[in-house]
Amino acid sequence: MTLAILSKLAALVIALAAMSANAEPLSVGDPAPDFSLAASDGKTYSLADFRGKQAVVVAWFPRAFTSGCTVECKSLAENGDKIREYDVTYFMASTDPVEKNAAFAEETKADFPLLSDPDGEVAKAYGVYTMGFAKRHTFYIDKEGMIAKIDTAVRPASSAEDMIANLAALNVPARP
Which residues are designated catalytic?
Answer: 69
Using CA atoms, how far apart are residues 19 and 60, in angstroms rounded to an integer? 22
Q: Residue 142 carries which DSSP code?
A: -
Cα separation, 53 vs 104, whole angstroms: 29
Nearest to 164 by CA among 137, 143, 140, 142: 140
Question: What are the φ/ψ torsions at residue 54 (nearest 5 degrees)?
Answer: -160, 165
What is the rounded distance in angstroms from the CA atom of residue 77 to the CA atom of residue 56?
16
Residues 6+ apart with CB under 8 A from 150: 26, 27, 28, 137, 138, 139, 140
Q: For residues 157 and 152, what is the distance between their CA atoms, to the nearest angstrom?
A: 15
